[in-house]
Chains A and B, each alone.
Chain A
Amino acid sequence: MEINSLTIQSALDVLKKKECSARELVAFYLDRIEKIDGKINAFLTVDREGALQQADEADSMRANDVTKPLLGMPIACKDLFTTKGLRTTAGAKIIDNYVPPFDASVVGRLKEAGAIIIGKTNEDAWGHGSSGENSDFDVTKNPYDLTRVPGGSSSGSAAAVAAGMCLAATGTDTGSSVRLPAAFCNLVGIKPTYGRVSRYGVIAMASSFDTIGHMTKTVADCALVYETTSGKDLFDGTTPDIDVPSYAKSLGKGIAGTRVGIPKEYLSLPGMAAEVKAATQQAMKTLGLLGADIIEISLPHTEYAMACYYILVPSEVSSNLSRYDGIRYGHERSAFGAEAKRRIVLGTFALSAGYYDAYYKKAAKVRTLIKKDFDDAFGAVDVIMAPSSPALPFRIGEKSEDPLAMYLSDIFMCPVNIAGVPALNVPCGFVDGLPVGMQLIGPQFSEARLFGVASAYEAATQWHTKWPKT
Chain B
Amino acid sequence: MSTKQMPAIDVERVAKLAMLPLTDDEKKLFASQLSSILSYVAKLNEVDTTNVEPTAQVTGLTNVFREDEVDTTRILSQNEALKNAPASYNGFVKVKVIIWR
Contacts and interface: CB of A to CB of B under 8 A. Distances in A.
- Contact, chains A and B (beta carbon distance below 8 A): yes
Contacts, number: 141
B33 A403 contact: yes
Interface string A289-328: 0000000000001011011101100000010001001111
A12 B80 CA distance: 37
A338 B83 CA distance: 28
Interface string B80-101: 1101111000000101010000
Contact of A208 (B33, B56, B81): B56
Interface stretch (A51-59, A266-274, A361-369, A425-433): A361-369
Would you call the interface of chain A mostly helix, strand, loop, or mixed? Answer: helix
Nearest to B52: A365
B99 to A, nearest CB: 9
Contact of A344 (B18, B44, B56, B59): B18
A194 B58 contact: yes
B86 A326 contact: yes
Contacts of A325: 19
A35 to B, nearest CB: 33
Interface in B15-38: 15, 17-22, 26, 30, 33-34, 36-37
A303 B55 contact: no
Contacts of B26: 338, 341
Contacts of B41: 307, 310-311, 359, 363
Interface in A134-179: none
Given A346-B34, A346-B37, A352 B14 contact: yes
A446 interface: no
Given A101-B80, A333-B20, A365-B49, A308 B30 contact: no
Contacts of A1: none
B47 interface: yes
A101 to B, nearest CB: 4
B15 A362 contact: no
B47 A369 contact: yes
Contacts of B76: 101
B20 A344 contact: yes
Interface string B42-56: 111111010011111
A234 interface: yes
A345 B44 contact: no
Contact of B58 (A304, A327, A371): A371
B43 A208 contact: no
Given A101-B76, A329-B85, A345-B30, A420 B66 contact: no
A240 interface: yes
A150 B9 CA distance: 33
A467 interface: no
B85 A311 contact: no
Measured as residues with beta carbon below 8 angstroms from the partner, the interface class of chain B is 35 or more
B61 interface: yes
Contacts of A348: 14-15, 17-18, 20
Contacts of A101: 76, 80-81, 83
Nearest to B34: A346
Contacts of A336: 20
A349 interface: yes
Contacts of B22: 341, 345
B57 interface: yes
A407 B93 CA distance: 39
Contacts of A404: 33, 36-37, 40
A423 B17 CA distance: 37
B64 A345 contact: no
Given A348-B14, A363-B44, A368 B95 contact: no
Given A195-B59, A328-B93, A345-B14, A362 B34 contact: no
B22 to A, nearest CB: 7
A407 B59 CA distance: 26
A237 interface: yes
A288 B93 CA distance: 63
A419 interface: yes
Contacts of B43: 303-304, 307
A28 B80 CA distance: 34
A366 B11 contact: no
Interface of B: 1, 9, 11, 14-15, 17-22, 26, 30, 33-34, 36-37, 40-47, 49, 52-59, 61, 64, 66, 74, 76, 80-81, 83-86, 93, 95, 97
8 contacts: A97-B84, A310-B37, A328-B93, A348-B14, A348-B18, A365-B52, A366-B52, A407-B37
Interface of A: 97-99, 101-102, 194-195, 208, 234, 237-238, 240, 301, 303-304, 306-308, 310-311, 318, 322, 325-334, 336, 338, 341-342, 344-346, 348-349, 352, 358-359, 361-369, 371, 403-404, 407, 419-420
Q: Closest 7 CB pairs between A and B?
A: A420-B58, A364-B54, A329-B84, A365-B49, A237-B64, A348-B18, A367-B55
